[in-house]
Structure 1
Amino acid sequence: MPSEPDHETTSDPNSGVNKLPRPAVGRLSLYFRELHRLADQGETHLNSKQLGALVDVSPAVVRRDLSSLGTIGRRGVGYPIDKLTEQIGAVLGSGLQWQVILVGVGSLGDALLRYRGFERLGFRLVAAFDLAPGKIGKQIGGVSIWNAATMTGKLAELSPDLAILAVPVDQAAVVAADLVAAGISGILNFAPTTLRLPGSTAVVNVDLASELQRLAFSVQNR
């Protein structure tokens, strides 16, 4: 397996970004998380073997992902954590401040509102929406819950960039259409259905049951 190159170079972090496949983007997000954790622990450098071990990928894959951003590690030193975090953050858009709303404050939505990890990555939850009378007007994790029936007007006021969708499957398509009409740029969909939206709106579909199936398959075929 190749060793770390003996130099470090950086170039425009956006030079090859548009060509990155989705799995590589997913790995960059994992690298970003681990780099933040290491920085909090006072670490300053790491190499591709160490980073790969943290996210369960090979050093060669790490080097390929990072070289696509114009970054090459330095022999005997590896990658400076602060610079690498900054560069990956720029690629992922975490250097920006994204305004995010949540639709659906059930068990999953409640947990997402209480999660403290969004803010440090540049995602600010500005409002949540639900139809349950017992939830409307309350706050969870400092985020106010509004009546979903008034969502269109509130979105015009807030002008959020992204939305998290945590509604029942039979409501997902209708709510997503309302979000698209309101100008939402991207939707993270937790409803167990695959949303297909106009090209102007990005969507990531996350089916937790399917992920468990993938895990079970991996366990059975170890």
Structure 2
Amino acid sequence: MLKGGNPVKIRRVPDVVIRRLPLYLRVLDEIDTDLSPIISSQELGERSGVTSGQIRKDLSFFGVFGKQGVGYSTVTLRAELRRILSLHQEIYVGLVGVGNLGQAFIRYGVSQSKKALPNEGLRMVAAFDRDERKIGQQVAGVPIYSVQHLPGIIEKLRISIIILTVPATAAQAMFDRCVESGVKAFLNFAPVKLAIPEGIRVHHADVTLELESLAYYS
């Protein structure tokens, strides 16, 4: 990043900041840049549900993108956020566990990738399962492989993110196998606490816990 022509040293970025960046990017993706070439932190905040001050603080971790009193170039800020999140290139995603939830995620992932620019963004490229009846089939054009072939397919297709939609009893074993195959980023839907090695990132999405907490408000 540049500030006045000089490099800006990037500080350690809190996870909560990284998690908000896709929210800002989603807002920018929805904006017609021809009609709105500039966006203020206030408008971005109103659209994303985050305060303008928090937005400015979040973006300051990565350098200076806008001008005080003017705002941000929507095109430039969108491009910078995509670069920060590595979405300016193709990121290959695999899924383990092709049950109902897994199939729904594959279809969603494929539909989202069709909205991305060529050679950019998340690409669902493979799914894995133990069920012999599913192996060799496709879901929304994504091939289903045997988990026995998982290491080779991960390497061949350069998969760097895995979505786990397997039963709790199988989650740790499948997770370990993916880690051994070189994957370092996971989205886990299995309702179980995983033993996670250092250097591996796992985001948990426990649907049951979310629903049970919502029961309080029902």
Distance 1:199 1:42, change over 3 A: farther
* Structure 2 residue aligned with 1:4: none
* Structure 2 residue aligned with 1:47: 40
Task: Give per-residue Cα distances to partners, 1:157-192, cap 9 Å, x unaligned.
Answer: 333222111111111100000001111122111112
Q: Give the deviation of 1:37 after TM superposition.
A: 1.5
Stretch deviating more after TM superposition (132-141 or 48-57): 132-141
* Structure 2 residue aligned with 1:160: 159
Distance 1:67 1:154, change over 3 A: closer
Q: Give 1 or 2: higher strand fraction.
A: 2
* Structure 1 residue aligned with 2:25: 32
Task: Give per-residue Cα distances to partners, 1:120-177, cap 9 Å, x unaligned.
Answer: 2611111101122332221112111112233233334333222111111111100000
Task: Give per-residue Cα distances to partners, 1:81-119, cap 9 Å, x unaligned.
Answer: 110011111111112321211111112211111122246
Q: Is the 8 A contact 1:162 1:185 kept in 2?
A: yes
SS in 1 for 2:30: helix
> How many pairs align?
211
SS in 2 for 1:161: strand
Task: Give per-residue Cα distances to partners, 1:39-62, cap 9 Å, x unaligned.
Answer: 478532211111112221111111
Could you tell me the percent identity over the aligned residues? 34
Stretch deviating more after TM superposition (82-91 or 148-157): 148-157
TM-score using structure 2 length: 0.83
Q: Give the deviation of 1:193 after TM superposition.
A: 2.0
Q: Which runs of 5+ in 1 are unaligned?
A: 1-8
Aligned with 1:82 (options 67, 75, 89): 75
TM-score using structure 1 length: 0.82
Q: Give the deviation of 1:74 after TM superposition.
A: 3.0
Distance 1:93 1:192, change over 3 A: same
SS in 2 for 1:145: strand
Counterpart amino acid of residue 9 in structure 2: S
* Structure 2 residue aligned with 1:105: 98
Verify: 1:15 aligned to 2:15, yes or no.
no
Distance 1:69 1:148, change over 3 A: same
1:41 and 1:209 map into 2 onto residues whose CA distance is 43
* Structure 2 residue aligned with 1:171: 170
2:194 and 2:57 map into 1 onto residues whose CA distance is 31
Q: Is the 8 A contact 1:39 1:82 kept in 2?
A: no
Distance 1:43 1:185, change over 3 A: same
Distance 1:106 1:10, change over 3 A: farther
Q: Give the deviation of 1:75 after TM superposition.
A: 4.8
2:62 and 2:76 map into 1 onto residues whose CA distance is 12
2:181 and 2:29 map into 1 onto residues whose CA distance is 34
SS in 2 for 1:50: helix
* Structure 2 residue aligned with 1:117: 112
* Structure 1 residue aligned with 2:58: 65
Q: Which runs of 5+ in 2 are unaligned?
A: none
